[in-house]
Amino acid sequence: MELLVDIRWLLERQAEVLPKYPDVHDFSGLVAAAARHRVNTPRLGYAADAAWRAAALFHEIVAVRPLLARNALYAGLTVVAYMAASGEAVEPPYGALSDLAKEIRTGRADVYACAEEIRRWRI
């Protein structure tokens, strides 16, 4: 199933998973994440699936840091929520989301590497 979300969906997830950290520092970062995950052909010969779309949300939130705090946590919980809403459950191993966020911050993981990890977590 192809699920396309908007900033409202992202804000609802934020309120759901981080109720004590409601402040968004940069709404344009959330808008960018929503726009990025909607791309149908991120590169030639690559079809966007739910894992890639979740990875685009994750990568953008971690890289741009639209919240005042807890961006990696929010990004990880957004991946789980997005995949579940797309009809594909994931179960990341303990610490995997944190490790992947660190890889993004250091420039060692791009959106395609994130998508591969998310595919491995499918159950």
Is residue 86 in a domain?
A: yes
State how far Cα 94 lies from the chain centre: 17
Is residue 63 in a domain?
A: yes
**CATH value at residue 112:** 1.20.120.1870
pLDDT of amino acid 22:
65
Torsion, Cα of 89, 68, 11, 47 (10° steps): -50
Judge contact between 38 and 69, C-beta under 8 A. Answer: no
Tokens standing for residue 84: 């579940």
- 61-96 pLDDT, tens per residue? 999 999 999 999 999 999 999 999 999 999 999 999
Is residue 26 in a domain?
A: yes
Is residue 1 in a domain?
A: no
Is residue 2 in a domain?
A: no
- 19-61 pLDDT, tens per residue? 886 689 999 999 999 999 999 999 999 999 999 999 999 999 9
Query: In terms of residue numbers, what domain contains 95?
Result: 7-120
User: For the chain, what is the domain count?
Assistant: 1
pLDDT of amino acid 54:
98
